[in-house]
Structure 1
Amino acid sequence: MSIGYPWIRLRRLCQIMRQNFAKCCEEKLNAQINMELKACHQYLAMAYHFDRADVSSPGVHGFFLQASAEERQHAEKIMKYMNKRGGSIILSSVPEPLPKFTDALTALKHALNMELEVNQHLLEVHALASKQNDPNLCDFIEANFLQEQVDGQKILADFIRQLERAQTDLGDYLFDKYMISAGMHNSVAK
């Protein structure tokens, strides 16, 4: 009886079930997972920046805290998908987030740029999956991410415009109160 490494047997089982899942798609999904975790980490840092006593913006804090949780859920959803397809998940280190922002407007603009970057990468994953003739991956990306990204970008753009119009201390205060009830995706009509 030979003693083998258990992870080698497990890897073989994953490869047995793997079908029509190109290595380049697996690599692109791993990059997406790490991008989602980077956004999660950045949103978490942003949330707790706005929770500080000298900033005190509970609405903005809650908004970014919710955004952080959503990004983590996206990463986990992709990881579950990778396991279903027989892929290998490779997590990289998460870069240090920007530590603080001068105001909510700057933070929202940074959030919109992050969302645009995440969306662009998702579009690239979809295009690659299409090129590799992987309709399952195309469907996964379409069903779980693309519309949500567009909706989230619209909400952020609306918040940015509203806050630009309210550029006074009172306006910032009122906007923060409005943010308590807002979310990245819960106010979008289904």
Structure 2
Amino acid sequence: MALAKQNFSTNAEEAINQQIEVEQTASQTYQAIAAWFARDNVALPGLAAFFQKQSQEESKHAQLLINYQNMRGGRVILNNVPQPETEWTSAKNAVESSLELEKAVNKSLLNLTSLAEDQNDHQLGNFLKQIFLVEQVQSIEELAKMVTQLNRVGGDGLGLHLWDQELLKNGKIAV
């Protein structure tokens, strides 16, 4: 048993490993979406850059969980990440898929937080609340606004091009 392990259940350890996989899956999915937007027949560089950044953020989350698992005396077990989709029908479809993914990641984090609370693991609960949960709500809101704006500008054409150029210029959506 690890010397640092205290009030850290096997269930919490396993759930953190599952959350690491969820974060890595999200990272790879966003990488695939970024690559799709960068293709010559899609050519939306603002969305490509946005999702590249999202991929890096999810990868950072996985690393934070790996570091936390080690700090608490747990064992990190990395599982194979499922291959993400590589095709979307439109920019809106890709962003809607991302919104659903963020909601799934949030649900997984909420389940992990509930487990921590059920096990009286205040350190894990506080870590998740301070580092992950607020950011998840912000990501969900940002993607929801992007879907709304994509509905407004239309599925393709000049409106989408101008919206994407604004995203590329500012690195975030206009609110």
Same fold by TM-score, threshold 0.5 exceeded? yes
- 1:52-94 deviations in Å (ceiling 9; x for gaps): 1111110010000000000000000000000000001111111
TM-score with structure 2 length normalisation?
Answer: 0.95
Q: Sequence identity of aligned pairs in percent?
A: 38
* Alignment counterpart, residue 108 of structure 1, candidates 75, 95, 98: 95
- 1:4-62 deviations in Å (ceiling 9; x for gaps): xxxxxxxx4xx222000011011111100000000000100110111111111100100
TM-score with structure 1 length normalisation?
Answer: 0.88
Counterpart Cα distance in 2 of 1:42 and 1:17: 34
Identify the residue that residue 173 of structure 1 maps to in structure 2.
161
Unaligned runs of 5+ residues in structure 2 are: none
Identify the residue that residue 71 of structure 2 maps to in structure 1.
84
Unaligned runs of 5+ residues in structure 1 are: 1-11
CA contact (8 A) 1:66 1:183 kept: no
Identify the residue that residue 128 of structure 1 maps to in structure 2.
115
Runs of 4+ in structure 1 off by over 4 angstroms are none
* Alignment counterpart, residue 33 of structure 2, candidates 42, 46, 51: 46
Counterpart Cα distance in 2 of 1:52 and 1:126: 38
Shift of the alpha carbon at 1:103?
1.3
- 1:148-185 deviations in Å (ceiling 9; x for gaps): 0001100100010011011141111112112212348x
Shift of the alpha carbon at 1:139?
0.5
How many residue pairs match? The answer is 173
Larger radius of gyration: 1
Identify the residue that residue 19 of structure 2 maps to in structure 1.
32
Letter in 2 for 1:72: S
Q: Residues 143, 103 of structure 1: CA spacing in aligned structure 2 closer, same or farther, 3 A cutoff?
A: same
Structure 1 residue 161 and structure 2 residue 148: aligned? yes
